[in-house]
Amino acid sequence: MSGAWLNHHGQPVGRAVEDWRAPAEKPGRGVLTGRHCRLEPLSAERHGPSLWRAWQAPDIATSQDGDARARWTYLGGRPFDDLAGCQRWLASQARRSDPAFMAVIDADSGQALGVASWLNLVPEQGTIELGHLSFSAVLSRTRIATEALVMMASHAFALGYRRLEWKCDALNAPSRRAAERLGFTFEGVFRQHRVVAGRNRDTAWFSLLDHEWRRLEPVYRRWLSPDNFNDKGRQRSSLSTLIQSSLLEA
């Protein structure tokens, strides 16, 4: 049981929340800039062509046949088959405020390589989710991808949220590994939570809390530092190793 206190009736209750003020702010539509990438509010016109190209890259890490569409399996399948359809889908997502989509831009090439969003915003309770990650094969498992997710988490906590959620199909092993690598805590599986593309989906839930973020933020900065990579771009210390070290030092 997470920290219980006794009230005047002698009953266990949660701690008083004295260091937080409701409501949190909703994510704005500004640009977030990092060392390796920037996050821009999604635009079908501006980002559509480069996203379409990036999403066509063969993906041998996700499927045996390398089909790029395999990366969309746990999102219910890719909802378009050509550039025009891609731009229509992007336009429909860009009009929404929850989820609020951002395009992930490679700072060097200026090309959009994937999208992510904040969603399930509950400002009055200080909860927000990071999801709808549609990263291309050229973005996935790169410094750019990690920096983009850290930037989105940082922005959420800066807006006053207490809890950042990550949810995925319980069978989506890459997504579960990504959440754990970033320091999210696994909370359990909601069985028969949704029906996706006519199939049952059990949903794995993860969370990152504000006090955990304050401990992890310098660890992310340390991992992303140029000093942590050799001249071939290979990491010297893994993020998981740095997080474990921070736990031992705490």
Q: What are phi and psi of 219, to 5 degrees?
A: -70, -40
DSSP per-residue letters across 18-44: -S--SPPPPP-S--EE-SSEEEEE--H
The pLDDT value recorded for residue 249 is 79
pLDDT category of residue 3 using cuts at 50, 70 and 90: low
pLDDT category of residue 246 using cuts at 50, 70 and 90: confident
**The pTM is what?**
0.93
pLDDT digits (tens, 9 = 90+) for 77-101: 999 999 999 999 999 999 999 999 9
pLDDT digits (tens, 9 = 90+) for 154-168: 999 999 999 999 999
| Alpha helices (H) along the chain | 44-54, 83-94, 143-158, 173-181, 210-224, 239-249
pLDDT category of residue 49 using cuts at 50, 70 and 90: very high
Contacts of 222 (CB under 8 A, 6+ apart): 228, 242
